[in-house]
Structure 1
Amino acid sequence: MKTFTLPGTDITASNIVLGLMRIQDKTDEEVRTLVSTARDAGITFLDHADIYGAGAQHGCERRFAEALKLSSSEREQWVIQTKAGIVKDGPYFDFSYEHLIRSAEGSLEALGTDYLDVFLLHRPDALVEPEEVARAFDELHASGKVRAFGVSNQTPGQIELLKKHVNQPIVANQLQLSVTHAPIVAQGVAANMQGLDQSIGRDYGILDYCRLNDITVQAWSPFQAQFFDGPFLGSDRYPELNAVVDRLAAQYDVQPEAIAVAWITRHPANMQVVLGTTTPARVEAAALGSDLPLTRAEWYELFRAAGHVVP
């Protein structure tokens, strides 16, 4: 498993992340098996959010704590990240000082921990007042409750607005990315090509911006075909892509999940991949893509087979 120091922090992070948004209805044993499988594969980074789970806030965070019952020494072996800002009723977003403090403290209580390693703003809030965010971040950091801060699904302009007021570095930006859903990569490949949808800029160069500013991209939904419309692996919608994936999986003696992950980890932006599966075997298979050395030719072959244009 490839690890690195999360820029702007002293946190050692695995480049594969176990996302825990679907554990609400899992038994203690199922949660423990999922997490221990991840740990055995070298994954030390866990991703939560206050809205994950049915019913009240912090459902999955609480389910995790109930199942694991981490001791202080066991807690120190994990990097625990959570997110806040989405309000289920509505839905709407709330990056106010009061909401962020309340959510962070709720996560600490639900997770049974004294501190969060990383705390992300969950999606952009159109009504954001960056001074409010800065006040919340300052208080959480000064109290030792949060070690580092980041965002999700935000553009360069939105991050710059925060940075005008926030004192702590923005260390991560969670963005949707898979080989079939790759506008943050594909637009730059086909820039300046008239009449091609791929050439349309939708994110203001967020991938290059993150690389320039030492912000780690955390790629979520690495197996989703597009926006929550099912996985591309094994799908008859992507026969050419799956033929390439299967051939490379056989060549490298791994499962297809590892190839899908390796397409992301091969990128020099040093991205993390967030796995949302609750199937231990898929976690184990995907983890092998952490440092699988795809060649440039193989990376571009997958890119083309996914339907992207290489001029």
Structure 2
Amino acid sequence: MTKSIPLKLRDINASQLVLGCMRLGGGWDQTPITAEHIKEGHEALDAALEIGINMFDHADIYTKGKAEQVFGEVLKERPGLREQILIQSKCGIRFGDEVNPHRFDFSESHILNSVDGILERLGTEYIDFLLLHRPDPLVEPEEVASAIHKLKASGKVRYFGVSNMSQGQIRLLQAYSDEPFIVNQLEMSLKKIGFVETGVHVNQEAAKNNVFPEGTIEHCRLENIQLQSWGPLAQGVYSGRSLEEESETVVKTAALVQKLAEEKNTTPESIVLAWLMTHPAGIQPVIGTINAKRILACKDASTLRLTREEWYTLYISSRGVNMP
């Protein structure tokens, strides 16, 4: 039997960078969105489009749903834009309240209800991608498969993926679903280097301190699952944030990033992203800022690639010790 090849994001014409919209809408509370929030959304969208970004990342929980609501208002004021961009959202995290605890929920009913809420807030009839946000220990893969089948059949979701999952968790879900999972979003950056360390530390004692799931990068590469990185700019620690309370390792790495940026006539943000994107897994960074200036500072990342020596120099600096 011939194995089907999952669809790749590049076949869907997705940009190499994604704008993460987690900070739209103000605080994580119940205060209503304002005209200033919508203005901020327009400015972030303009900056993203200017540097070629056409994919936007959401989650039903971001600022308690207000991030999607703001984005929906922006789309409402820009007729025709919806069909020119790709929208990704996530579900599965449920906040605690007076009665229930903070929990993860991959039940069929919660997934279906979450998508209806996402569509309502965004003011759209469909989203391009739905990711299951964090692994639910009580997951029944048959329920997930049923929800996915209904969402696909109804046209509410075009493609599916996961976030923060290991290869085993993906394989379990995939075994029950006819729809391929084509995205896995994980925390990866020049500061969060566990995704590299896992491979480097095979048969090394240092492996015991690494929580990144072994084999996940390789599984995603073999199955054509797009690896997305959340937190790829490492909260700005290498691109201008105060280093007053940071370790010597971080300070030295930030200096190296700045040096490379000057040598290549680009920005520290682009260097940090290029370090991720130079990896042969084809990592797609989800930049989490909505500051227009910082978004524009990422413009060279899609075309910039580091040499093997430059890549290793930054990696070794970030890890703080020499290679084994």
User: Which TM-score applies when normalising by structure 2?
Assistant: 0.87
Q: How far did residue 199 of structure 1 move?
A: 7.4
Q: Give the aligned partner of residue 170 of structure 1.
A: 181
Change (3 A) 1:76 1:124: same
2:51 aligned with 1:51, yes or no? no
> One-letter code of the match for 2:323?
V
Q: How far did residue 204 of structure 1 move?
A: 2.3
Q: Give the aligned partner of residue 118 of structure 1.
A: 129
Q: Give the aligned partner of residue 137 of structure 1.
A: 148
What is the CA–CA distance in structure 2 between the aligned matches of 1:9 and 1:274, rounded to whole Å? Answer: 15
Q: Could you tell me whether the CA contact under 8 Å between 1:8 and 1:214 is conserved in 2?
A: no
What is the CA–CA distance in structure 2 between the aligned matches of 1:288 and 1:220, rounded to whole Å? Answer: 19
Q: How far did residue 190 of structure 1 move?
A: 2.9
Q: Pick the aligned partner of 1:259 from 263, 268, 271.
A: 271
Name the structure where helix makes up a greater proportion of residues: 2
Q: How far did residue 268 of structure 1 move?
A: 1.0
Q: How far did residue 310 of structure 1 move?
A: 2.1
2:94 aligned with 1:80, yes or no? no
What is the CA–CA distance in structure 1 between the aligned matches of 2:223 and 2:177, rounded to whole Å? Answer: 15
Q: How far did residue 184 of structure 1 move?
A: 1.2
What is the CA–CA distance in structure 2 between the aligned matches of 1:105 and 1:61, rounded to whole Å? Answer: 12
What is the CA–CA distance in structure 1 between the aligned matches of 2:141 and 2:199, rounded to whole Å? Answer: 30
2:221 aligned with 1:208, yes or no? no
What stretches of structure 1 of length at least 5 have no aligned partner? none
What is the CA–CA distance in structure 2 between the aligned matches of 1:60 and 1:86, rounded to whole Å? Answer: 16
> One-letter code of the match for 2:53?
I
Q: Pick the aligned partner of 1:223 from 230, 233, 236.
A: 233
Identity between Structure 1 and Structure 2 (%): 42
Q: Give the aligned partner of residue 24 of structure 1.
A: 25
Q: How far did residue 287 of structure 1 move?
A: 3.0
What is the CA–CA distance in structure 2 between the aligned matches of 1:19 and 1:279, rounded to whole Å? Answer: 11
Change (3 A) 1:132 1:224: same
What is the CA–CA distance in structure 1 between the aligned matches of 2:82 and 2:74, rounded to whole Å? Answer: 13
Q: How far did residue 10 of structure 1 move?
A: 4.6
Q: How far did residue 200 of structure 1 move?
A: 4.8
> One-letter code of the match for 1:59?
K
Deviation track 1:96-148 (CA, whole Å, cap 9, x = no partner) reads 11000000111111101111100000010000000000000000001111110
- My pick for the range that moved more, 21-30 or 42-51, is 21-30
What is the CA–CA distance in structure 2 between the aligned matches of 1:198 and 1:39, rounded to whole Å? Answer: 42
- My pick for the range that moved more, 243-252 or 199-208, is 199-208
Q: Could you tell me whether the CA contact under 8 Å between 1:28 and 1:68 is conserved in 2?
A: no
Q: Pick the aligned partner of 2:72 from 54, 65, 71.
A: 65
- My pick for the range that moved more, 236-245 or 247-256, is 236-245
Q: Pick the aligned partner of 2:162 from 137, 151, 154.
A: 151
> One-letter code of the match for 1:155?
S
Change (3 A) 1:91 1:18: same
Q: Give the aligned partner of residue 181 of structure 1.
A: 192
- My pick for the range that moved more, 112-121 or 300-309, is 300-309
Deviation track 1:211-265 (CA, whole Å, cap 9, x = no partner) reads 011100100001227xxxx734442421210121011000111111111100001
Change (3 A) 1:122 1:200: closer
Q: Could you tell me whether the CA contact under 8 Å between 1:188 and 1:199 is conserved in 2?
A: no
User: Which TM-score applies when normalising by structure 1?
Assistant: 0.91
Q: Could you tell me whether the CA contact under 8 Å between 1:83 and 1:122 is conserved in 2?
A: yes
Q: Give the aligned partner of residue 29 of structure 2.
A: none
Deviation track 1:127-186 (CA, whole Å, cap 9, x = no partner) reads 000000000000000111111000000011101110110110000000000111111112
Q: Could you tell me whether the CA contact under 8 Å between 1:95 and 1:133 is conserved in 2?
A: yes
2:299 aligned with 1:292, yes or no? no
Q: Could you tell me whether the CA contact under 8 Å between 2:199 and 2:214 is conserved in 1?
A: no
> One-letter code of the match for 2:257?
V
Change (3 A) 1:60 1:6: farther
Q: Give the aligned partner of residue 276 of structure 1.
A: 288
Q: Could you tell me whether the CA contact under 8 Å between 2:24 and 2:63 is conserved in 1?
A: yes
2:44 aligned with 1:37, yes or no? no
What stretches of structure 2 of length at least 5 have no aligned partner? 1-5, 27-35
Q: Could you tell me whether the CA contact under 8 Å between 1:14 and 1:45 is conserved in 2?
A: yes
Q: How far did residue 300 of structure 1 move?
A: 0.4
2:19 aligned with 1:13, yes or no? no
SS in 1 for 2:106: coil
Deviation track 1:51-81 (CA, whole Å, cap 9, x = no partner) reads 0014xxx221011111331556310110000
Q: Give the aligned partner of residue 310 of structure 1.
A: 323
